């Protein structure tokens, strides 16, 4: 997205906007912020703004936001292939499968080497059933699963069919593993990290995550929220 062209955009008719979600923001935080800025710019009370795929608060990277009539295309973008760069900590687990919760168990790691990691990681390529984390945005009995999990309520999650097209090991320096994943809609990278730990006869959790691609859209073309605001309201920076 070209920052200089924002003034020519028709947000009511519909635009597809690429943003880099900040750390600790929810996907809905981003939607609310961008909707608020557009409403202020157009001096209107409301406008349709939606995102094409959730990112967890502790993840960063590419998010697609659609405005106006372009919100009708959200499902099309959601269905496309995703690419992530994931940091995985080997030898421990957390209830949320990431750093949202504290470590609850530690596991043996002396048997783990790069050869074993290669073997295990590659075994996840292909179609499979994946169990979503209890700390997820899945709806259970009308309520988000993570809300029940935070209340200490045990939630019965149902597996989803996903596909992992490719996994590449970018770096391994015990206990830290960095991988690149190309996968289908609905894939939880936190669950993948947890499952890798189990297959290693140990434990693992997600320590960092960046979404780098959604279909043909790349993180390199995304805009920061501050740049979007400054483009809409240059007078605020004077």
List active site positions: 56
Give the C-alpha separation, 136 to 3, whole Å. 33
Which residues have C-beta within 8 Å of that of residue 226, sequence separation ≥ 6?
Answer: none
Hey, which residues does 214 pair with through a beta bridge?
A: 82, 217
Between CA 176 and CA 169 the distance in angstroms is 11
Secondary structure element (H or E) that encloses residue 34, with its range: helix 27-42
For residues 56 and 190, is the Cβ–Cβ distance under 8 A? yes
Is the CB of residue 30 less than 8 Å from the CB of residue 21?
A: yes
């Amino acid at each position: 997205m070209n920052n200089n062209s924002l003034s020519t955009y028709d947000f009511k008719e519909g635009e597809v906007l690429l943003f880099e979600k900040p750390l600790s923001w929810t996907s809905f935080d981003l939607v609310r912020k961008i909707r608020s800025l557009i409403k202020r710019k157009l001096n209107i009370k409301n406008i349709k703004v939606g995102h094409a795929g959730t990112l967890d608060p502790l993840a960063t990277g590419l998010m697609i936001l659609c405005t106006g009539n372009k919100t009708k295309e959200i499902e099309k973008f959601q269905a496309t292939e995703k690419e992530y760069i994931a940091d995985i900590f080997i030898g421990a687990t957390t209830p949320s499968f990431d750093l949202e919760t504290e470590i609850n168990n530690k596991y043996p790691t002396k048997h783990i080497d790069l050869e074993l990691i290669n073997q295990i990681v590659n075994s996840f390529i292909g179609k499979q059933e994946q169990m979503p984390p209890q700390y997820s945005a899945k709806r259970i009995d009308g309520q988000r699963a993570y809300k029940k999990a935070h209340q200490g309520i045990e939630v019965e999650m149902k597996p989803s069919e996903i596909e992992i097209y490719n996994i590449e090991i970018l770096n391994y320096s015990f206990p830290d593993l960095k991988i690149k994943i190309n996968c289908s809609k609905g894939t939880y990278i936190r669950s993948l990290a947890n499952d890798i730990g189990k297959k290693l006869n140990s434990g693992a959790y997600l320590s960092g995550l960046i979404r780098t691609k959604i279909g043909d859209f790349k993180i390199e073309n995304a805009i920061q929220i501050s740049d979007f605001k400054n483009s809409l309201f240059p007078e605020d920076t004077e």
